[in-house]
Amino acid sequence: MTLDFDPATAHQFATTGTYIAAEVSHATNTTTAAVDAVPGLGLIGEDFRALLITAMTNHANHLGGCAHTVTDQADHVATYRAQISGLDQRIGDGLDNIGQL
């Protein structure tokens, strides 16, 4: 990761990832309800449907985890940037003091 990493962009990605995870979760629930409600949809093998729903749920959970990780990393980067800025200021002040001697 470079110092050019933008925390705002990471937060936007996290928000988008969380939204996608919610949409996938909603689609999973809708698919489950549709199997019961729509004649013919049950023709897709029950085992396949179960695997598909599990895969969709796992993917949604993974996206949610990624979103949280990106948010955490963005927060860390922002903290480190602030620390580096503070150190730069202290070094500058120290050099000014040396220059005045």
Q: Give the model's pLDDT for residue 31.
A: 65
Q: Give the model's pLDDT for residue 1.
A: 45
- The tally of domains found in the chain comes to 1
pLDDT (tens digit, 9 = 90+) per residue, 31-63? 666 666 666 656 666 777 677 777 777 777 787
Asked if the structure places residue 2 within a domain, the reply is no
Round to the nearest angstrom and report the end-to-end CA distance of the chain.
39
Please list, in sequence order, all residues whose beta carbon lies within 8 angstroms of the beta carbon of residue 77, skipping any fewer than 6 positions away: 1, 5, 7, 10
**Segments forming the whole domain that contains residue 20:** 7-100
% of the chain exceeding 90 in pLDDT: 0
Asked if the structure places residue 24 within a domain, the reply is yes
% of the chain exceeding 70 in pLDDT: 57
| pTM exceeds 0.85, yes or no | no
Asked if the structure places residue 95 within a domain, the reply is yes
Asked if the structure places residue 19 within a domain, the reply is yes
Asked if the structure places residue 37 within a domain, the reply is yes
Asked if the structure places residue 1 within a domain, the reply is no
Asked if the structure places residue 93 within a domain, the reply is yes
| The pLDDT of residue 80 is above 80 | yes
